[in-house]
Amino acid sequence: MTLQLIRNLRFFGFAAVLTTAGLDTTAQPLLVVDRDVLRAAMVEELDEGYDPTATTNSARFFAEVIFSLAKTARTNDPRGRPLLIQQEDWFHIFHEVNGVPEENAGVERGLRSNTSRTC
């Protein structure tokens, strides 16, 4: 299912993976998203003026950040490698840029130790 998801996302010009659990990374190397790049993409999306911690906005925020990362990667990586976004990085940086203490995390807290999620 993970590889099918990546193929479907490639149709739209990018692929993003939150973890590598169960993914064969030897077939094609992944482009690891640096924490600073991830932070910058999240901060940029915060400038849009809505609350990404609200349940109704979180999916929009996540999607826009991934699209931003994919657009940047497409420009900088002509090979078009799939993105690897470390789930721990996403969790910590999301809470950091939104000023939410991690111990007050909502649903995402349950995802913190789950390494089988892909996007």
| pTM of structure | 0.66
Q: Who wins on pLDDT, 78 or 99?
A: 99
Residue 98 tokens read as: 């939104």
Mean pLDDT for the chain? Answer: 74
pLDDT tens for 14-33 read 444 444 455 555 566 888 99
pLDDT tens for 38-80 read 999 999 999 888 888 888 888 899 999 999 999 999 888 888 8
The pLDDT, as a whole number, for residue 102 is: 79
Task: Give me the DSSP letters along 32-99.
Answer: EPPHHHHHHHHHHHHTT-S-TTSHHHHHHHHHHHHHHHHHHHHHH-TT-PPEE--HHHHHHHHHHHHT
Q: Are 39 and 69 in contact (CB under 8 A)?
A: no
Going by the DSSP 8-state scheme, the letter that residue 113 receives in this structure is T
